[in-house]
């Protein structure tokens, strides 16, 4: 233990957590390492965790020329000089006010700053890396000296495996990860998201804290357990744990009054004091109980968010970028420019908080309204086609208001000829605004025979057939296959799985499908009906049969 404890203040460490004798790390297969990391096999042995980190970080594929311990010894004197470590200013790409000590002694606290300055010298392309101080401080715990810690940090930063994401090093990557986290919260933590929307004026600002929760606020025993699994399984683990933290926050604090101006600080305080509510084991158990998107899907979603930011010119952190971001997101639905016969500005902003983050950067654009264009399904199609995604809003004569977010261009209906053809992705959802606000997550419904049997089977689709489809997602797919959650058109991917979320023909529109659950609109756009089931928590979207007062279709304008 002493071999790796030079920088540790043992009086601050939990003695019980270091009481076990060191074990051996003999396994070599990834699956075995994954199991050991999740179980906390090396969590109670300081020396064993140090050896595990050396092995895992040493196996990271890196650039040909990656700074090592020898480089550190050569440059540290020139960069630091005679200044004490505690007095060293940190580079601009990290937050100087957020350097966790993690039970390090005075020498260790100073060493963290020295190492970060030397990293900045060797990686001039890093422009934004808020997680670096936390990662450096943690690795210093399990390093023999500063040079060894420097080498491990450099290997993480120099990873050149395109399929393996580790820590963000640019503002673009960081901000797109915040958007992706917002997308995941919207899908997997709907109760917490609903609370955030209700109490916070700036939900994205709250979610932009997600890495700070992990690499800043989370206590040392927790962040070490997270890092154990992160080194084996990668970036996806960070999303899992942050989602679990938000779920626990909602469970513990959701019933108490929360002020809009303090919710961000409330979450930080909860994470700092998480030991009073949740153990590290329970946190990881909750994190891995979340049935998250595949790693490939998350990478694609993150890439789409990066492209959305690039289109808006938000690529570096400076005052103008933040102002542009704020204008794009928080003024997307501007009171002076928005007019609808169905929803208010506040209601449209609520809907905007549900849509994928990459489209929340866009402004709403009215494409079709029955008040102006008449109740013609052909006009509905002609005004809606060429736009992806779209937002459907319906107000009934009984003053009910409901709608749907539709991820796919309506022109995709033509693949079935004159027959009813289903399409769309798992990003589709339906919602109700009046009499009560509710968003319903749509189930992924697969119809394998449509994917494999060709056009003849596709043409056999009908509303009746849709009602007989199973509502479960079926057996788990291999990790290298995509679910219908992401749109093949958005990501230029081949799709082998037919998904059933929206359908259209010259006779009707259907939104949803499977097990009798759907929203049906007749060709004259005057009448509609719904069929509901347990997907809607036994609460109908609106009346089973209704007359349409006004129908609007909105697009998304950059």
Q: Is 315 in contact with 171 (CB distance < 8 Å)?
A: yes
| 344 pLDDT higher than 80 | yes
Q: What is the mean pLDDT of residues 394-417?
A: 89
| 485 pLDDT higher than 60 | no
| 460 pLDDT higher than 80 | no
Contacts of 67 (CB under 8 A, 6+ apart): 122, 150, 151, 154, 158
Q: Is 226 in contact with 214 (CB distance < 8 Å)?
A: yes
Q: Is 68 in contact with 151 (CB distance < 8 Å)?
A: yes
Q: Is 242 in contact with 210 (CB distance < 8 Å)?
A: yes
Q: What is the mean pLDDT of residues 463-489?
A: 36
Q: Is 400 in contact with 551 (CB distance < 8 Å)?
A: no
Question: Which of 151-165, 255-269, 453-467 has the largest mean confidence?
Answer: 151-165
Predicted pLDDT at 173: 93
Please tell me what DSSP assigns to residue 556: E
Predicted pLDDT at 515: 37
Question: Which of 104-113, 419-428, 436-445 has the largest mean confidence?
Answer: 104-113
Q: pLDDT higher for 256 or 9?
A: 9
Q: pLDDT higher for 92 or 455?
A: 92
Tens-place pLDDT, residues 512-546: 743 344 688 988 898 888 865 444 444 667 788 89
Q: From the CB of residue 489, how many other CB atoms can be counted at a distance below 10 Å? A: 15
In order, the DSSP letters of 449-505 are: HHHHS-HHHHHT--HHHHHTS-SS--SPPPTTSPPTTS-HHHHT----S-B-SEEE-
- Stretch (H or E) spanning 511: strand 508-511
Helix (H/G/I), strand (E/B), else coil: 343: coil
Can the peptide bond before residue 456 be classed as cis, meaning omega within 30 degrees of 0? no
Q: Is 527 in contact with 370 (CB distance < 8 Å)?
A: no
The model's confidence at residue 373, banded by pLDDT at 50, 70 and 90, is very high
Predicted pLDDT at 442: 55
- Written as six digits, the tokens of 23 are 């074990």
Tens-place pLDDT, residues 238-281: 999 999 999 999 999 877 777 767 888 999 999 999 999 999 99
| 470 pLDDT higher than 60 | no
The model's confidence at residue 390, banded by pLDDT at 50, 70 and 90, is very high
Nearest to 183 by CA among 348, 300, 349, 343: 300
Q: How far apart are CA 356 and CA 312, in angstroms?
A: 16
| 420 pLDDT higher than 80 | no
| 486 pLDDT higher than 60 | no
Predicted pLDDT at 289: 95
Q: What domains sit in the chain, N to C, each tagged with a CATH number?
A: 1-17+26-169 (no CATH), 170-315 (1.10.472.80), 362-447+486-557 (no CATH)
Predicted pLDDT at 187: 87
Distances (CA, A) of 72 to 114, 121, 220: 10, 10, 26
Within 13 Å and on the Cβ side, how many CA atoms surround 269?
8
Q: What is the mean pLDDT of residues 319-326?
A: 49
The model's confidence at residue 85, banded by pLDDT at 50, 70 and 90, is low
pLDDT over 90 percentage in the chain:
43
Predicted pLDDT at 198: 83
The model's confidence at residue 328, banded by pLDDT at 50, 70 and 90, is low
Distances (CA, A) of 196 to 41, 199, 264, 478: 36, 5, 10, 34
Q: Is 281 in contact with 243 (CB distance < 8 Å)?
A: no
Q: What is the mean pLDDT of residues 291-300?
A: 87
Within 13 Å and on the Cβ side, how many CA atoms surround 274?
30
Q: Is 395 in contact with 548 (CB distance < 8 Å)?
A: yes
Q: Which of 57-71, 96-110, 165-179 has the lowest mean pLDDT?
A: 96-110
Q: How far apart are CA 480 and CA 502, in angstroms?
A: 26
Q: From the CB of residue 89, how many other CB atoms can be counted at a distance below 10 Å? A: 9
Predicted pLDDT at 543: 81
Predicted pLDDT at 500: 62
- Give the predicted TM-score (pTM) of the model: 0.80
Predicted pLDDT at 119: 96
Q: Is 196 in contact with 206 (CB distance < 8 Å)?
A: yes
Q: What is the mean pLDDT of residues 171-197?
A: 91
Q: What is the mean pLDDT of residues 157-163?
A: 91
Q: What is the mean pLDDT of residues 172-181?
A: 92
Predicted pLDDT at 284: 96
């Amino acid at each position: 233990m002493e071999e790796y404890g030079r920088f540790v203040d043992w009086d601050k460490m939990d003695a019980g957590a270091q009481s076990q004798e060191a074990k051996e790390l003999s396994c070599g297969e990834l699956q075995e390492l994954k199991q050991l990391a999740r179980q906390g096999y090396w969590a109670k042995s300081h020396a064993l965790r140090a050896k595990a980190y050396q092995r895992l970080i040493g196996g990271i594929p890196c650039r040909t020329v990656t700074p090592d311990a020898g480089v550190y010894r050569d440059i540290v004197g020139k960069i630091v000089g005679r200044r004490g470590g505690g007095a060293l200013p940190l580079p601009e790409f990290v937050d100087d006010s957020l350097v966790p000590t993690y039970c390090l002694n005075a020498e260790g606290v100073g060493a963290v700053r020295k190492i970060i300055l030397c990293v900045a010298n060797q990686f001039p392309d890093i422009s934004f890396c808020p997680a670096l101080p936390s990662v450096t401080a943690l690795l210093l715990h399990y390093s023999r000296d500063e040079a060894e810690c420097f080498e491990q940090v450099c290997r993480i930063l120099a990873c050149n495996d395109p399929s393996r994401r580790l820590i963000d090093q640019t503002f673009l990557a960081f901000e797109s990860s915040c958007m992706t986290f917002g997308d995941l919260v919207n899908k997997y933590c709907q109760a917490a998201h609903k609370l955030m929307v209700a109490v916070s004026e700036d939900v994205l600002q709250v979610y932009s804290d997600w890495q700070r929760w992990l690499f800043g606020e989370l206590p040392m025993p927790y962040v070490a357990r997270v890092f154990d699994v992160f080194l084996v399984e990668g970036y996806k683990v960070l999303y899992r744990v942050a989602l679990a933290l938000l779920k626990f926050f909602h469970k513990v604090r959701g019933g108490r009054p929360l002020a809009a101006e303090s919710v961000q600080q409330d979450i930080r305080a909860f994470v700092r004091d998480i030991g009073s509510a949740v153990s590290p084991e329970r946190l990881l158990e909750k994190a891995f109980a979340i049935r998250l998107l595949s790693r490939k899907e998350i990478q694609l979603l993150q890439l789409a968010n990066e492209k959305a930011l690039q289109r808006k010119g938000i690529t570096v952190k400076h005052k103008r970028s933040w102002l542009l971001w704020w204008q794009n997101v928080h003024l997307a639905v501007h009171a002076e420019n928005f007019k609808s016969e169905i929803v208010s500005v506040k209601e449209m902003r609520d809907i905007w908080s549900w849509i994928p983050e990459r489209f929340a950067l866009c402004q709403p654009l009215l494409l079709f309204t029955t008040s102006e264009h008449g109740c013609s399904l052909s006009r509905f199609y002609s005004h809606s086609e060429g736009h992806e995604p779209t937002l459907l809003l319906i107000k009934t004569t009984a003053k009910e208001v409901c709608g749907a977010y539709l991820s796919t261009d309506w022109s995709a209906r033509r693949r079935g000829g004159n027959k009813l053809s289903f399409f769309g992705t798992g990003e589709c959802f339906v919602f109700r605004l009046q009499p009560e606000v509710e968003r319903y997550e749509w189930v992924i419904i697969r119809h394998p025979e449509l994917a494999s049997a060709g056009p003849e089977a596709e043409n056999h689709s009908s509303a009746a057939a849709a009602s007989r489809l199973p509502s479960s997602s079926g057996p788990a797919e291999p990790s290298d296959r995509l679910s219908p959650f992401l749109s093949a058109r958005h990501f230029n991917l081949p799709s082998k799985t037919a998904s059933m979320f929206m359908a259209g023909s010259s006779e009707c529109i259907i939104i949803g499908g499977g097990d009798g659950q759907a929203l049906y609109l007749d060709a004259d756009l005057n009448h509609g009906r719904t069929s509901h089931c347990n997907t809607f928590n036994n609460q109908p979207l609106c009346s089973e049969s209704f007359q349409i007062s006004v129908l609007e279709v909105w697009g998304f304008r950059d």
